[in-house]
Structure 1
Amino acid sequence: MRSLRARALTGGVVWAILAVLIGVYGLDTLLSAQAKRRFDALLLNRHTQVIVALANAADAPQNIARGIGDPAYSRPFSGEYWQIEGAQGDIIVSRSLVDTLLPRAEPQADGVLIRSYTADTGDDLRGVSEWITLDDGSDWHVQVASSVQTLIDERDALRNSLVLAFGAIVIFGVLGAFLQVTTILRPLGYLRRDVLTRWDSEEGLQPDTYPVEVAPLVKDMNTLLERNRDIVSRSRRQAADLAHAIKTPSAIIRNELEELQRQKLPVGESLAALDRLDAQLKRSLARMRADGGNAGMRPSTDLDTALGRLGRAFGALAGNDRKTLTTDIKPGLRIRMDQSDFEEVLGNLLDNAIKWAKGQIHLSVRTDGDNVLVCVADDGPGIAQDDYGAATLSGQRLDTSKPGTGLGLAIANDLAHAYGGTVTLGKSDRLGGLVACLSLPASGV
């Protein structure tokens, strides 16, 4: 997991859930214990009530029920029971027991006994029992029992309340964690945006505008941006110097060969080799320029401007060759590519189309998802499908009937790939010849 936001949110959610689980368990244990204590306290109060009734009616046990006012003791199997057992075996019970009994008295023992058990009624009961001696010296075993279902219901109600309360806490906690993480990480988003925009503007980042934890990183990035600008600038200058240094000797050699050719000497192969050498150098220099210019940069080209200039230039070239260039261009598009590199790529595609077209060339530009698709189609003979790869990669001439080096498509493909684009070949549905499509990432800048 590489995302800081995902890490922070996951950690916050895990700890929040763990804290909630611990809190629910702790509170459930505490509240359950309190509910049990209240239940036992109520049992002891009822036990005392029965003892008082017994003491008041010891000489007439049949009147004991009249001294206990709780109507639950009169409803059959109500879950509230009492039972009095004399030392001689006499048993007096509440009407709620009907024809059943609570556990018989155990050997006489001192103190109050509280226990849980299952009665003959089928209820799970919790009861209080005690041997007492009345003022007249008689011994009695007094029991009071209540169904634990009321205790269970109270516990379930408490747990449901806890789950709802802590569930709401979890939801608000997760939302709070999301908002907190988003707020904390927002400066990093600003930093990313500033790095992308400040490169083109060649302005440094302002460390004072970022949190103190990020400021040292911003300073280091300023240094790195400046160093990268310097490296890119030097590499482009070196590529330009190398091109200039090679161009002059190549021109001299070409002039000498052309002079020998005018003298009817067989130098055609030498001129063709020089053409290939110039094209290969041009291809390598274009690749160096694109790689150096694209390293960390995000150049942008306005297609309205670039295509307007290219359309006029190649429209005139096509007209000179008695051919027609038509266009279908969606306005307002920008691409992530250096303008000079784009013009070189499209220039190669248009030059090939004009060279091989019978009379029609069509340039179209449209959006394709997040990319811009620039297609050049012609009504020429086209290229066999098996040769598409060789035409864009090898730089070999597939047809020697027309002049050229065979590197135009290869150079276009190299430059397109340097900017994250592609050059694909196919058969034109519109004109029947070759269609070369350049796909490049769109730019919102």
Structure 2
Amino acid sequence: MRRLSLRLKLTLLAAAGLLALVLAQAAVLRVTLSTLVQGHVVEGLEHDLDTLYARLLESERPPAEFGAALGLVYSAPLSGHYFRIQGPGGVVRSRSLWDEDLKTPDVPVGHRRITRAPGPLDQRLVVLSRGYRIDGDRVTLSVAEEVGPLADAVARWQGRFLWATLVAVALVLGLQLWVIRRSLRPLDAAVAACRRLETGEARPVDDRGPREIAPVLQAVNRLVRHHGLRLNRSRRALGNVSHALKTPLAVLGQLADDLDAGGDSATARALRTQVSAMTGTVEREMRRARLAGKDHPGAGFQVRGELRSLAEVLERIHGGGVTLDLEAPDGVLPLDGEDMLELFGNLLDNAWRWAASRVRVRLWVSPRHTLEGIIEDDGPGLPAERRARLGQTGAVLDEGGGHGLGLGIVQDIVDQYRGDIRYHGSVDLGGLRVEFTLPLPGYGEDP
């Protein structure tokens, strides 16, 4: 399951927060504008209602004729301004209602009520009703005004405001994403440094960054320095030990000769056997040091060039007579150069020692971003039961010497890179066929 990136999480959280804020703002704005519109309309209706009540008290004319006193809008048919008087004598409506009636509530004396009701032609009305007592009778006066056009205008303004707000939110999110990318860019450099570390290239990163990220960058730099120092120290110690053992082994060989000269041939023979085994191990380590080269950068593996150099070294070690048939990609692969020289050095050394005249190497990068290869020789090969033991510590190719450390080291390197190696019989050449796969760290991927 693919995990969400930190950038996407922060952006989604910000988007959710801003959208919630916009929705809350839209709801508050809707209620506020509706209240303001209704308050403005009710304020005018209060004036008309007071005028209607005063005319009703002062005039002896029929109430239906009060429309002219309130304004022409109460006389013009379906004008959107209406009044209604409900008393003991029945209901009196303004001329503007024409043949329509207005639904109004029954309000107690001294109280008022604001309602919304449909009017003629489906007009949206705000109705203000108030209860009065006139000449001992209870009368309800109601005035109404259409608010549909005003409400529509407010709705259009609110829609435009909402769209403008959404555009502003999109711009803010884009700016935030840019800021997040810029702030987290040092982490990309840290990831790249760790990937280079996998290939053996110990290069520190710039530890200047946000206060929350700077400790991570400093920790990566400490790891890079520690890894480089430890790797160099271990490889130098290996070479030093190999050199240091040569003199004691020579002394033991001389001691075996002295024992043989003194008549203790059995002890001398046993001592020479052990000295020969230790000398073979030391020679193998010295050969690995020569194959790896001196002060190799370790930053990437130049496949074709390095393998050609290995072939030249092996020809000097084992003598001529073996031809290398090489097919390999050009360029530098993101693999530790020292590790690869050790791996190919041991595999080619074994192939060279047993080949009659030919060693074939085929390497390629698969679509799965792995280095895959086949190394074959035209030597005598090995039976299947002995091939199954190759790569194990102590397994040997020949009965005459060697402790199988070379292929054991090869197996360790392959395991370190989480790769795979298999040993078969070569169908074409007749000798041993080695097939291996090594994942390429970060090869073909975005940082």
**TM-score normalised by L of structure 2:** 0.67
Offset at residue 394 of structure 1 (A): 3.8
Aligned equivalents of 1:97 and 1:29: distance in 2?
33
Deviation at 1:331, TM superposition (A): 1.9
Residue correspondence of structure 1 range 370-389 to structure 2 within 5 A: 370-379=369-378
Q: CA deviation at 1:84?
A: 2.3
Distance 1:21 1:298 in 2: 58
Q: Which residue is 2:178 aligned to?
A: 179
Is the alpha carbon distance of 1:3 and 1:385 closer, same or farther for their aligned partners in structure 2, counting shifts above 3 Å?
farther
Are the aligned partners of 1:286 and 1:411 in contact in 2 as well (CA < 8 Å)?
A: no
CA drift of 1:302 comes to: 2.6
- Residue in structure 1 matched with residue 331 of structure 2 by the alignment: 332
- Letter of the aligned partner of 1:36 in structure 2? Q
The change in CA–CA distance for 1:343 and 1:238 in structure 2 (over 3 A counts) is closer
Pairing 1:38–2:37 present: no
**Residue in 2 that maps onto 1:351:** 349
Q: CA deviation at 1:356?
A: 4.7
Q: Which moved more, 1:65-74 or 1:89-98?
A: 65-74
1:182-261 maps to which residues of 2 (within 5 A)? 182-189=181-188, 230-251=229-250, 253=252
| Range with greater deviation from structure 2 (365-374 or 405-414) | 365-374
Written as runs of structure 1 = structure 2, the 5 A alignment for 1:261-272 is none
Q: Is the 8 A contact 2:67 2:95 kept in 1?
A: yes
Amino acid at match of 1:406: G
Deviates most, 143-152 or 80-89:
143-152
Paired with 1:8 and 1:405, the residues of 2 have a C-alpha distance of 57
Instruction: Give 2:292's aligned residue.
Output: none
Partner residue of 1:392? 391
Match of 2:103 in 1: 102
Residues 359-405 of structure 1 show CA distances to partners (whole Å, capped at 9, x for unaligned) of 542112322354433431235676677876632234423x6467643
Contact 2:74 2:94 in 1 (8 A): no
Q: CA deviation at 1:57?
A: 8.6
Identity of aligned residues (%): 21
The answer to whether the 8 A contact 1:43-1:128 is kept is yes
Paired with 1:380 and 1:96, the residues of 2 have a C-alpha distance of 114
SS of the residue corresponding to residue 405 of structure 1 reads: coil
Q: C-alpha distance in 2, partners of 1:343/1:331?
A: 16
Greater shift in the superposed pair: 11-20 or 406-415: 11-20
- Aligned partner of 1:406 among 404, 407, 411: 404
Question: Helix, strand or coil: the match of 1:392?
Answer: coil
Query: Quick check: 1:362 aligned with 2:360?
Result: yes
| Aligned counterparts of 1:353 and 1:97: Cα–Cα separation in 2 | 112
Q: Which residue of 1 aligns with 2:293?
A: none
CA distance in 1, matches of 2:118, 2:177: 52
Contact 1:287 1:415 survives alignment (8 Å) = no
Matches of 1:2 and 1:62, distance apart in 2: 73
How far is 1:128 from its partner? 0.8
Aligned to 1:306: 306
Kept after mapping to 1: 8 A contact 2:277/2:401 = no
Matched, 1:142 2:144: no
Q: Distance in 2 between matches of 1:98 and 1:21?
A: 44
Query: Quick check: 245-254 or 310-319, which moved more?
Result: 310-319
Q: Residue type matched to 1:84 in 2?
A: I
Query: How far apart in 2 are the matches of 1:304 and 1:59?
Result: 115
C-alpha offsets along residues 179-229 of structure 1, whole Å, 9 cap, x if unaligned? 11222333454566679889999998787x767887788778777766665
* Amino acid across the alignment from 1:351: D
Q: Deviations over 1:36-66 (max 9, x none)?
A: 3234345446656866997999625555567
- 30 and 225 in structure 1: CA distance in 2 versus 1, 3 angstrom threshold: same
User: Which residue does 1:59 correspond to in 2?
Assistant: 61
**Which letter does structure 2 place at the counterpart of 1:172?**
L
Q: Is the 8 A contact 2:369 2:440 kept in 1?
A: yes
Greater CA drift, 80-89 or 418-427? 418-427
- 1:304–1:331: 8 Å Cα contact kept in structure 2? yes
Closer, same or farther: CA 139–421 of 1 in aligned 2, 3 Å: closer
Separation in structure 2 between the aligned mates of residue 382 and residue 97 of structure 1, nearest angstrom: 114
Per-residue deviation at 1:155?
7.0
TM-score of the two chains, using structure 1 as the length reference = 0.68
1:382–1:41 distance in 2 versus 1, CA, 3 Å: farther
Q: Closer, same or farther in 2 for the Cα pair 1:38/1:258, shift >3 Å?
A: farther
Contact 1:194 / 1:205 at 8 angstroms: preserved in 2? yes
How far is 1:299 from its partner?
3.2
State how far apart, in whole Å, the 1-side matches of 2:248 and 2:312 are.
32
C-alpha distance in 1 between matches for 2:415 and 2:288: 9
Q: Which shows bigger deviation, 406-415 or 222-231?
A: 222-231
Q: Decide which moves more: 356-365 or 240-249.
A: 356-365
**Secondary structure of 1:437's partner?**
strand
Per the alignment, in what secondary structure is the counterpart of residue 144 of structure 2?
strand
Shift of 1:319: 8.6
- Look up the equivalent residue of 1:352 and give its one-letter code: N
Alpha carbons 1:116, 1:125 under 8 Å: kept: yes
User: Aligned partner of 2:35: which letter?
Assistant: A
User: Which residue type is aligned with residue 307 of structure 2?
Assistant: L
How far did 1:436 drift?
Answer: 3.0
In structure 2, relative to structure 1, the CA distance for the partners of 1:274 and 1:406 (3 Å cut) is farther
Q: Distance in 2 between matches of 1:352 and 1:202?
A: 31
